[in-house]
Amino acid sequence: MIPVDRLAAFVHTVLRQTGLNEEDARVTTEVLITTDTWGVFTHGTKNLRGYVRRLRGGGLRARGRPRVMSEGPAWALVDADSTVGMVGSTFAMKTALAKARTAGIGYVGVRNSCHFGAAGYYAALAAAENFIGVAMANDIPSVSVPGSRGAVLGSNPIAFGVPTGGPHPILLDMATSAVAGGKVYAAAALGKSIPLGWIIDAEGLPSTDPTLLPEAASLLPMAGHKGYGIALLIETLSGILTGASIASHVLSWSFDDPSRATDHGAAFLAIHVEAMMPRSTFAARVQQTIEEIRSAPKAKGADRIYLPGEMEWEKRERALREGLALPEDVLEKLRQLAKEEQVEVNGLFG
Amino acid sequence: MIPVDRLAAFVHTVLRQTGLNEEDARVTTEVLITTDTWGVFTHGTKNLRGYVRRLRGGGLRARGRPRVMSEGPAWALVDADSTVGMVGSTFAMKTALAKARTAGIGYVGVRNSCHFGAAGYYAALAAAENFIGVAMANDIPSVSVPGSRGAVLGSNPIAFGVPTGGPHPILLDMATSAVAGGKVYAAAALGKSIPLGWIIDAEGLPSTDPTLLPEAASLLPMAGHKGYGIALLIETLSGILTGASIASHVLSWSFDDPSRATDHGAAFLAIHVEAMMPRSTFAARVQQTIEEIRSAPKAKGADRIYLPGEMEWEKRERALREGLALPEDVLEKLRQLAKEEQVEVNGLFG
C-alpha cells in the first residue's frame, strides 16, 4: 500500500522540477491524486509521465498562464495557454463558479487545453461549494459514429456533481463510448474475446476480437445514436464554441510530437443552487431522492443500490486510511518516471 | 395522406373549445404538429386526447398562466400553473432565451408542469434563434436503476439543438431508458421476443418477454449506470431544483385521476452563441464538423452518415409537401377525440 501523502509528494516534486510554480503543481497533484483515490487509475498518476514528456518537449507550457479572453455576465472563454490540463481546467471551473455566484449559472469554454484527466474532479470541485457542476472535454477520435467504419469523434467525457448536504456529492464521470479502450486492451492482454457492442472492425462491422484495437478497429458510441449525439453536443460546447481544435484536429497528448500543443477544448458549467432555493431545502430534496432510490426493492442477487460516485467515495476513504493499491501498469509508469526525472523514491513503487 | 394544415386546424379547434386562448392553442398545436411531421408519432397528436381529458377533468388548467416565481441575471424558476405542458415549456424556453440574450446563458426550471411532448421541439426553438438549446423533463418512474427490481426513475428525456447556419439545426431528442416502452409493447403486439438489455422482469432479472411490461417488468436505463446517472442529473435540474414533484411523486398524465395536477418538472438551457463568437465563425466551425462526420469512410453496408435530427428534418419536409401518413393507433385516438369533442372531421382520419 502506498501512502497517499507520499505519492502526492512525489508528484509534486516532479511537477516542480519540470518548472510548474507552487500553486500549479499543487493543483495538478490534487487532481491526479484524488483521481487515484477514487480508483480511477486510468486517469490519475499513471499519466504523469506523459504530461512530463510534453512539459519537457515544450508542447505543454510549465510557465503558461490561463487567462480569460472574453466574457459576459454568465460566461467566459479561456485560453489555457497550453498549460497542464488540470491547471487550465481548475482555473476555468473556478471562473464558472464566480460567474454563477452572481448570475446563477456560468458557462466557461476553454481552448488551448490538454488532456484534463478525470472530468469528475472539476464537477466535484463545484459540488463542494454547493454548486451543481458539469465538466466535459473533446479528444482525438477513437469512437465510430453510426454508419462509419472508423473513429470520428473522441470518447468525449462528461461529468456532473450534485451537492447532497452530506460529505460527498452525487458524482458521475463517464465517457460517451460504449466502453473505455482500456477495457478492450485488458481483454486482449488476457486473450479473451469481448462482447458485441464494444467495437467495430476495419470494415465497420461488429467484432468480438479485442486485438484489433486500435489499428483495425474503433470503439462504438454508448447506446448507439444517443452516445453519438451526446458526444457531438460535448464537441460543440468544448471544441466548436471555444475556438479549440475539433475532432481530428486535436492532437494526442500521449502519442503526438511532444513539442506541439494538443489544443484540446473543454467546457464547464456551474449552477448556484442557493440563488434558487435555500441550501437546506435543496439538500432535503436531494436526500429524499437518494432515499427513494436506495430503498427501492432490490433485484435478485443485489443487496444494495449505489448512487453515482458512491463506490468511488468509499474507495477514496479507504485509500486515505490505508493507502493506495496501485495496479502494476501504474507502478511501472511511476518507476520509469522516477528514473527519468531522477527522483529518489526509496522503493515506493516496488 | 393527411394534409398538415388540416390536422393542425383540428387540433387548434379542439384546444380552443376546451378553453385555451388563441395563443396557447396556437403554441400547443405547433408543438404537436411539428412532432408528427418529424415522424415522432408517440409524442404528437396521438396524446391530444389524453391532454383534453385532463383539461376537461381540471387537472390541466385551460386558463392557467405560467409565471416567473423568482429570477436572477441568468436564471428563472417558473410555475407553469398546471397549463398544458407545451404552453409552460414554450414560455420557459423563451424566458431562457431572454436571459441568455443578456447574460450569455440562461437556465429556467419549471414546476407544476405536465407532459411536455417532444423535448426536441424546445431545443429546436432555441436553435432557430441561433442559440444552443437544451430541454429536459422528469416523469413517473418507468426505468430501473442498477440493483433495483422495479422502476425508480422516469425515462427522463433530454434534447439539444445546435444552430448550423443552414435551414435546420443539429437536433437530438432521446429518452434515458435503453428503449422506449412503445418498442416493447410493439414487440408484444407482434408476438415477438425482445433483445436482452431492454427490460428486467419482476425479480429484476434480464428478460426477453415483452408481455411482462408494465405490470411485471421495467425498462433498463440506456448504457446501464451511465443512463441512470444522466436520468438523475435530469431529475436534479427538472425536479429537485425547481420545486416540482420528484420521481414517484409525479402523477401520470395519461393514467392518473384527470382532476389532479401531475406536477411534472422541466428544465431549459439556452446559450447565446453570438455573445461568444461571430455567427458566421460558429456556423463555419459547425459546418466543418458536419463535413468531417459526413465524409468519414462508411461501414460496409452503410452509404450515408446522418447527423442527429437529419432523418427527422427530411421526414418533416416530406410531410409538409405530401401530408402525414399517421399510424393506425394515432388515427384511432384522433377519431375517438373527434367523436368525444363532437368536431366534424369529414373522414379526415379514415
Nearest CA in chain A to B247: A289
B304: contact with A, CB 8 A cutoff: yes
Calculate Rg over the CA atoms of chain A. 20
Q: Is pLDDT at A186 greater than 90 in this prediction?
A: no
pLDDT at res. B309: 98
Architecture of domain B178-220 in CATH?
2-Layer Sandwich (3.30)
Domain A60-177+222-322, CATH: 3.30.1370.60
DSSP A239: I
B324-341 mean pLDDT: 97
Contacts of B223 in chain A (CB under 8 A): 178, 222-223, 226-227
Q: Does domain A182-220 have CATH number 3.30.60.50?
A: yes
Looking at every residue in chain B, the average pLDDT score rounds to 97
**Residue pairs spanning A and B at CB distance below 8 A:** 256
Which segments of chain A belong to CATH 3.30.60.50? 182-220
pLDDT at res. B211: 97
The 10s digit of each residue's pLDDT in A190-240 is 999 999 999 999 999 999 999 999 999 999 999 999 999 999 999 999 999
pLDDT at res. A182: 84
Q: Is pLDDT at B182 greater than 90 in this prediction?
A: no
Q: Per the CB < 8 Å rule, is B289 touching A162? A: no
B294: contact with A, CB 8 A cutoff: no
The 10s digit of each residue's pLDDT in A89-138 is 999 999 999 999 999 999 999 999 999 999 999 999 999 999 999 999 99
Percent helix, percent strand, percent coil in chain A, to nearest 5: 45, 20, 40
User: Which has the closest alpha carbon to A95: A108, A79, A80, A113?
Assistant: A108
| Residue B206 bridge partners (DSSP) | B200
Compute the distance between CA of residue B202 and CA of residue A297 in angstroms, rounded to an integer.
Answer: 10
Q: Per the CB < 8 Å rule, is B147 touching A302? A: yes
A22-47 mean pLDDT: 97
Q: Per the CB < 8 Å rule, is B104 touching A203? A: no
Contacts of B285 in chain A (CB under 8 A): 240, 246
Pairing state of beta strands A170-174 and A158-162? antiparallel
Which segments of chain A belong to CATH 3.30.1370.60? 60-177+222-322
Residue B270 sits at φ, ψ, to 5 deg, of -135, 135
B129-157 mean pLDDT: 98
A139-153 mean pLDDT: 97
Q: Is pLDDT at A310 greater than 90 in this prediction?
A: yes
Residue A105 has its nearest CB partner, among B75, B223, B233, at B75
At residue B180 the predicted structure's pLDDT band, cuts being 50, 70 and 90, is confident
Give A281's contacts (C-beta < 8 A, 6+ positions apart): none
Residue A132 has its nearest CB partner, among B205, B236, B273, at B236
At residue B316 the predicted structure's pLDDT band, cuts being 50, 70 and 90, is very high
Q: Give the predicted TM-score (pTM) of the model.
A: 0.98
Interface of A with B in 146-205 (CB under 8 A): 146-150, 152-153, 160, 162, 170, 172, 174, 178, 200, 203-205
Q: Are A238 and A226 in contact (CB under 8 A)?
A: no
Q: Are A153 and A232 in contact (CB under 8 A)?
A: yes
Q: List the grid coordinates of A265.
A: 477544448
Mutate one of B271, B295, B307 to test the A interface: name it (highest A CB count within 10 A): B271
Q: Is pLDDT at A180 greater than 90 in this prediction?
A: no
Q: List the grid coordinates of A92.
A: 476555468
Calculate how close chain B gets to A186, using CA atoms only, in Å. 20
Which ranges of chain A would DSSP assign to H, the alpha helix? 4-17, 22-37, 48-57, 85-103, 119-128, 181-190, 225-235, 273-276, 279-294, 310-322, 328-340
Mutate one of A99, A132, A138, A148 to test the B interface: name it (highest B CB count within 10 A): A148
Compute the distance between CA of residue A169 and CA of residue A78 in angstroms, rounded to an integer.
Answer: 26
A286: contact with B, CB 8 A cutoff: yes
Could you give the percent of chain B with pLDDT greater than 90? Answer: 98
Q: Are B156 and B268 in contact (CB under 8 A)?
A: no
